[in-house]
Structure 1
Amino acid sequence: MSAPATATDFLTLVKKSGVLNEKQFSEQFPDAHELPADPTECANTLIRAGLLTTFQARQILAGKFRGLVLGVYKILRPLGQGGMGVVYLGEHMSLHRRVALKVLPAKNARDQVTVERFMREARATAALDHPNIVRLHDVCQGAGVHFLVMELVEGKDLQTLLSETGPLHFATAVSYIAQAAAGLQHAHSKGIVHRDIKPANLMITKDGSVKILDMGLARSFLNENDNLTGALGEDGEALGTIDFVAPEQALGQAVDERADMYSLGATLYSLVTGHPPFKGSRAQILMQHQMSAPPQLSKTLKVAAPQTLNDVIAKMMAKKKGDRFQSADEVIDALSPWLPAPRSSNNVQQDALSTQDLRDAGVPTQTARSTTRKGKKSKKRQAARQNRKKWYAIGGAGAAVLVLGILVAVLGGGKKSATAGSGAGSGTGSQANVTEESQTVLTTVAPVNDVVLSLDGTRFAAVDWSGNLFYGRTADLQKRSTVTIQGDLRCCTGTADGRYIVFGGIQAPVYVYDWDTGQKVREFIGHSDTTWGAAVSRSGKLLLTCGSDGEVLLRDFATGTLIRKHEFEAKQVWSVAFSPDDTKIVASCGQGPTDGESYQIRIWDVATGQELQRLTGHTRDVRWVTFSPDGRTLASAGFDGTVRLWDLARGKEISSINAHNNYAERVFFLPGGKRVASCGAFPPNDPAYGGLRVWDVTSGQQVRTWRGFDARGLIGLAVSPDGTYALASSREKTVRLWKFSF
């Protein structure tokens, strides 16, 4: 059906879709004629009233009103793509229980093989009940489609985590793999082998638990009647993902639980190194699975992995089934030297995290760890390992949280000294060594993508990739409140008067929350896929947002009414800002279809919408842009590692500073406009370029640098109004305070 042209058309489609709660609608809008006449504004009104989700509104505005209700469930928004179909966030319409709905597309329902595989997933999943496996609630059919009603797991899969943060510390990776092994042990005990273990099928939840996803390739290796591959004549097709597939599975041979051990080993290798074990074309990768020995963990990792962990991975990935660990329980036992000890007063282990692990992470140790040889383990160590395995079999959430806590302490928590030294690249000067301290403001379970301070410096807020909004007063940074939103948050800003926080993210609306009470004030339709930037004018009357749809939207902050839209040829628009006098707006972008349309900074007049300037010079995405306090100079940070300064009167670049090697993430002017602070460097493993830096605007000389574990992986920055400190958020899942003493 065509898109609705009027609000009346829109409301007709909304009611036809079945997602509208008619009672709530009539209570909130007794006279529907009072709603805005424009269909988009009408949709915004219903979103703010909580009657529609952003996804539902978008679909209906596009004329797609069918399929938003499946049986007794209404679809709220997509969660992701599974091996056998799309996964949606659903809600039971009477019980209001939220679930994950895995939908088999209607076009596939006529295919016997696809339907049988889909139902096999249901049978396999329904037979399993374990904290480390996503649970199946029901198998249903509605609106002409088959779908599974699954446990809703809030978090992200490990493949997404890898792509966002890079390689994991080996102790963290081991904890995740041990939990997955505990879930697989349960599945294997029921006669089920997964056959597609990989990072994308392991979900890390907000509490640190790992859950196995997508049993779509699972089959019973004890039930001969469930040999779907042979029964449906797939001619030995190798199912699974080639980067992680066991040799016998790739050849179409008989598969048992040891195939999962191989894939689990390949997954562990990927988590520690950031990439699969083998590279090349599909044929080359499959051949290497058959012929090549597993590669050794690189010695250039952020934290060197013990040689014994290499040995464990090699055994997990042995070419012959008989040479591998024969069960998931054996894998947990082999990994136990790097697992945390269970928190029990009767079993306090000094080597919960191996001493070698702590040495590799740069932490001095006093207790020597006794060598362990097969057949010569002490009864005490055997009991400790068995206790660990039992603990992980319960679910492992506590273990993962403990590992994360240890790693925060080891890799970046608390107070540390950092050395200020010579910068990198052009225009950097040498400084004497100084000692600075950082204060940990908060630690969370996911990278913290943005942080903001109110204009008067009395309030702060931050958002992370797990949908958490943290906010509080700077008078007591340790006392804060948290709001959790379904989704992945990427940006936040505040109003000049400190009353409201504005934030958004991936497939999420743009939210406005009260900075004191944490209550939602209003909600606007976000950008397609991801909202990456937001800014509020000093007057508090205008809202500016940008996203991965190539659009910059200027709205009335009070009503959400769209005032003007600017479009980039490049679909990735990273950041937006208002000039100090609210007369100009600026935005920056990534790569466009041509060189001339890539890596641009554009400036427009707020009153007329006329484009005033277009600045180019960065050679990769321009991640951040900001005005100087007097509005005459612009500073930008890019993924080419540079911080650039621009004279707006002449429309020319003043200087380019090679600030952070790979990635410069943020840049802000300090009060007075004579200095800028920047942060960046990703991957966050190069101490020469990472961290937080301050530069002199006139000379481009480095004034101060903070480096080390505290300052790595910084991606968000906020400078206090008086310039005495900054808050920096990081991929290391922290926000820290840095004092500026010049």
Structure 2
Amino acid sequence: MEALIGSAHSLPTLPVGCGSESREVEQGLFAGRYLLRRVLGRGGMGTVYLAQDEVQGERVALKVLDASFARNPVALERFSREARLAQRISHRHVARVFELGSSEGRAFLTLEYVDGEDLRARLQREGSLKAMVAARVALAVCAGLGAAHEASVVHRDLKPANVMLERGGRVVLTDFGIARAMEDEGPGGLTLQDGVVGTPQYMAPEQLTESPVDARTDVYAVGLLLFEMLTGEPAFQATTLKGAYERLRRPPPDPRECTKVPAALAALVLRCLARAPEERPAGAAEVSRSLEAWLAQ
């Protein structure tokens, strides 16, 4: 098998299509302190490794920006922004960021390692989740989002792949790579405008129209998560930006059209998926109250 670590300081360029989640890496220190164990995943800008921090003596997730982005100032700013914004948030349902640095010309950051699987993997394996389980996961997601919003951070890319399910039961939000600090624009609240950005299948209407986004943009994504957990299917099948624009012309789907869903949860999903932000719950705390009320029945 081709070695994934070329030297004590270099990192690999993974071949396209390799089974990165299960491949082991040869022992070697990165940045003088991180002993790489295996590849956890690969995204559009970099690779995430399970590593042992030899200084602190604990396991971390080491996210390394691809060499192809090393001289790209926009990519470097986005990468460092993820760390800066995530460091604002301190909550048990948000992955902690420890260090942002550079070694051998490669930008990296270290995050809390969550021993478990992401929600996408669980849904692929099990299909839909029981209503009570889905509600509890959504409640934990809202708790993490609430902490982010209190720190003036909107996630903007909430999706099953960015929700980790720890083996001990904790739900953890990850990947604030396209999150942005919300700017106070007066009586209208915390908003920002930064162009069309996000994962098309999980984008809110205001992201598609380059309109200001705020906490209600993440509330929309909670509705999408809850829909998918309850039905086993994404609310919107289109994975391209062009296909995503269809949701601007059509009403959101009712989860009860796919399977039997408790009426209160279906109503909450539809409120979260309202096209106009002002018709959605005002924030994660309001969604949490609805979920807690249903769970208490």
2:228 maps to a residue whose letter is S
Partner of 1:337: 293
| Distance of aligned partners of 1:300 and 1:187 in 2 relative to their CA distance in 1, 3 Å threshold | closer
> Is the counterpart of residue 89 in structure 1 residue 45 in structure 2?
no
**For 1:301-321, what per-residue CA distance to the aligned partner results, in whole angstroms no more than 9, with x for missing partners?**
3xx321221111111111111
Alignment of 1:323-722 (within 5 A): 323-339=279-295, 352=296, 354=297
Q: Distance in 2 between matches of 1:206 and 1:141?
A: 31
Alignment partner for residue 158 of structure 2, among 197, 200, 215? 197
**For 1:285-338, what per-residue CA distance to the aligned partner results, in whole angstroms no more than 9, with x for missing partners?**
42232122221123663xx32122111111111111111000100000111233
Alignment partner for residue 239 of structure 1, among 190, 194, 197? 197
| Distance of aligned partners of 1:75 and 1:242 in 2 relative to their CA distance in 1, 3 Å threshold | same
Partner of 2:174: 213
Q: Distance in 2 between matches of 1:300 and 1:256?
A: 30
> Is the counterpart of residue 293 in structure 1 residue 251 in structure 2?
yes
Partner of 1:55: 24
**For 1:653-683, what per-residue CA distance to the aligned partner results, in whole angstroms no more than 9, with x for missing partners?**
xxxxxxxxxxxxxxxxxxxxxxxxxxxxxxx
Partner of 1:17: 8
Larger strand proportion, structure 1 or 2?
A: 1
Q: Distance in 1 between matches of 2:44 and 2:138?
A: 21
- Give the 3-state SS of the residue equivalent to 2:83 in structure 1: helix
Q: Distance in 1 between matches of 2:32 and 2:223?
A: 41
The question of whether the paired residues in 2 share the 8 Å contact of 1:278 and 1:288 is answered with: no
Partner of 1:635: none
Q: Distance in 1 between matches of 2:171 and 2:56?
A: 27
**For 1:600-625, what per-residue CA distance to the aligned partner results, in whole angstroms no more than 9, with x for missing partners?**
xxxxxxxxxxxxxxxxxxxxxxxxxx
Root mean square deviation, CA, Å: 2.6
- Give the 3-state SS of the residue equivalent to 2:98 in structure 1: strand
**For 1:480-533, what per-residue CA distance to the aligned partner results, in whole angstroms no more than 9, with x for missing partners?**
xxxxxxxxxxxxxxxxxxxxxxxxxxxxxxxxxxxxxxxxxxxxxxxxxxxxxx
| Distance of aligned partners of 1:83 and 1:98 in 2 relative to their CA distance in 1, 3 Å threshold | same
Partner of 1:276: 234
Partner of 1:316: 272
Q: Distance in 2 between matches of 1:70 and 1:244?
A: 35
2:219 maps to a residue whose letter is M
Partner of 1:186: 147
2:139 maps to a residue whose letter is A
- Give the 3-state SS of the residue equivalent to 1:161 in structure 2: helix
Q: Distance in 2 between matches of 1:153 and 1:131?
A: 11
Identity %: 35
The question of whether the paired residues in 1 share the 8 Å contact of 2:192 and 2:213 is answered with: no
| Distance of aligned partners of 1:200 and 1:311 in 2 relative to their CA distance in 1, 3 Å threshold | same
**For 1:347-366, what per-residue CA distance to the aligned partner results, in whole angstroms no more than 9, with x for missing partners?**
xxxxx4x4xxxxxxxxxxxx
Partner of 1:595: none
Once the two structures are TM-superposed, the CA of residue 83 in structure 1 deviates from its matched residue by: 5.3
Q: Distance in 2 between matches of 1:281 and 1:305?
A: 25
Q: Distance in 2 between matches of 1:150 and 1:203?
A: 13
Partner of 2:220: 262
Q: Distance in 2 between matches of 1:121 and 1:241?
A: 16
| Distance of aligned partners of 1:278 and 1:327 in 2 relative to their CA distance in 1, 3 Å threshold | same
- Give the 3-state SS of the residue equivalent to 2:24 in structure 1: helix
1:56 maps to a residue whose letter is V
| Distance of aligned partners of 1:154 and 1:247 in 2 relative to their CA distance in 1, 3 Å threshold | same
1:193 maps to a residue whose letter is V
> Is the counterpart of residue 116 in structure 1 residue 77 in structure 2?
yes
Q: Distance in 2 between matches of 1:286 and 1:54?
A: 34
**For 1:102-161, what per-residue CA distance to the aligned partner results, in whole angstroms no more than 9, with x for missing partners?**
111122010011001011101101111100000001111113211111111111110111
| Distance of aligned partners of 1:294 and 1:18 in 2 relative to their CA distance in 1, 3 Å threshold | closer
| Distance of aligned partners of 1:228 and 1:89 in 2 relative to their CA distance in 1, 3 Å threshold | farther
Partner of 1:98: 59
- Give the 3-state SS of the residue equivalent to 2:25 in structure 1: helix
The question of whether the paired residues in 2 share the 8 Å contact of 1:158 and 1:200 is answered with: yes
Alignment partner for residue 253 of structure 1, among 211, 218, 231? 211
Greater shift, 130-139 or 274-283, is seen at: 274-283
Taking structure 2 as the reference length, what is the TM-score of the superposition? Answer: 0.86
2:25 maps to a residue whose letter is Q
- Give the 3-state SS of the residue equivalent to 1:338 in structure 2: helix
- Give the 3-state SS of the residue equivalent to 1:55 in structure 2: coil
Unaligned runs of 5+ in 2: 11-21, 186-190
Instruction: Determine which structure has greater relative contact order: mean sequence separation of CA pairs < 8 Å that are 6+ residues apart, divided by chain length.
Output: 2
The question of whether the paired residues in 2 share the 8 Å contact of 1:171 and 1:338 is answered with: no
> Is the counterpart of residue 161 in structure 1 residue 122 in structure 2?
yes
The question of whether the paired residues in 2 share the 8 Å contact of 1:80 and 1:86 is answered with: yes
Partner of 2:14: none
> Is the counterpart of residue 72 in structure 1 residue 63 in structure 2?
no
Once the two structures are TM-superposed, the CA of residue 283 in structure 1 deviates from its matched residue by: 5.2
Structure showing greater Rg? 1
Q: Distance in 2 between matches of 1:300 and 1:222?
A: 39
1:336 maps to a residue whose letter is E
Once the two structures are TM-superposed, the CA of residue 223 in structure 1 deviates from its matched residue by: 6.5
Taking structure 1 as the reference length, what is the TM-score of the superposition? Answer: 0.36
| Distance of aligned partners of 1:83 and 1:281 in 2 relative to their CA distance in 1, 3 Å threshold | closer
Once the two structures are TM-superposed, the CA of residue 81 in structure 1 deviates from its matched residue by: 2.3
2:107 maps to a residue whose letter is H
1:151 maps to a residue whose letter is E
- Give the 3-state SS of the residue equivalent to 2:172 in structure 1: strand
The question of whether the paired residues in 2 share the 8 Å contact of 1:82 and 1:214 is answered with: no
The question of whether the paired residues in 1 share the 8 Å contact of 2:231 and 2:258 is answered with: no
Q: Distance in 1 between matches of 2:178 and 2:93?
A: 17
Q: Distance in 2 between matches of 1:68 and 1:206?
A: 28
- Give the 3-state SS of the residue equivalent to 1:56 in structure 2: coil
| Distance of aligned partners of 1:300 and 1:261 in 2 relative to their CA distance in 1, 3 Å threshold | closer
Once the two structures are TM-superposed, the CA of residue 86 in structure 1 deviates from its matched residue by: 1.1
> Is the counterpart of residue 134 in structure 1 residue 134 in structure 2?
no
| Distance of aligned partners of 1:190 and 1:283 in 2 relative to their CA distance in 1, 3 Å threshold | closer
Larger helix proportion, structure 1 or 2?
A: 2
| Distance of aligned partners of 1:270 and 1:116 in 2 relative to their CA distance in 1, 3 Å threshold | same
